Amino acid sequence: KNEVEQSPQNLTAQEGEFITINCSYSVGISALHWLQQHPGGGIVSLFMLSSGKKKHGRLIATINIQEKHSSLHITASHPRDSAVYICAVTDRRALTFGSGTRLQVQP
């Protein structure tokens, strides 16, 4: 079993829809990261959180430490949000990554 599981693997939405991507992990962590990978391959960090909730523009990330679960929400989705969203957790060495959620937002 992978240490970091994401769902869904693929997601297609219409522009304007509210989107939720889920991440569950099975190990103790000090922080959880949400990352965005565009088709060219470059990765950008969206959030790093260890408790509660963070918001940046239309993106909201939440984490429940007791349940070992995090969600990434996108409000009023737009075609430019189309990308792969990756959940990762810190261990003592580096990051352990989920396999990603491929999001396609159609106009």
Partner 1 sequence: DGGITQSPKYLFRKEGQNVTLSCEQNLNHDAMYWYRQDPGQGLRLIYYSQIVNDFQKGDIAEGYSVSREKKESFPLTVTSAQKNPTAFYLCASTGTGDPLAKNIQYFGAGTRLSVL
**Which residues of this chain interact with partner 1, rule CB under 8 A?**
2, 4, 30-31, 33, 35, 40-45, 48, 50, 86, 88, 90-100
CA separation for the pair 85, 47 (Å, rounded):
11
Which of residues 43 and 60 has its CB atom nearest to partner 1 in the complex? 43
* Beta strand extents in the chain (DSSP E only): 4-7, 10-14, 19-25, 32-37, 43-49, 52-56, 59-64, 69-74, 83-90, 95-97, 101-106
- Closest CB to partner 1 among residues 20, 97: 97
For residue 42, the minimal CB distance to partner 1 (Å) is 4
- Residue 89's CB is within 10 A of a number of other CB atoms, namely 22
Task: Using the minimum distance from each CB to partner 1, give the nearer residue, 77 or 101.
Answer: 101
Q: Which is nearer to partner 1, 14 or 94 (CB)?
A: 94
Q: Could you tell me the smallest distance in angstroms from the CB atom of residue 102 to partner 1?
A: 10
Could you tell me whether strands 10-14 and 101-106 are parallel, antiparallel, or unpaired per DSSP bridges?
parallel
Least distance from partner 1 to the Cβ atom of residue 84, Å: 10
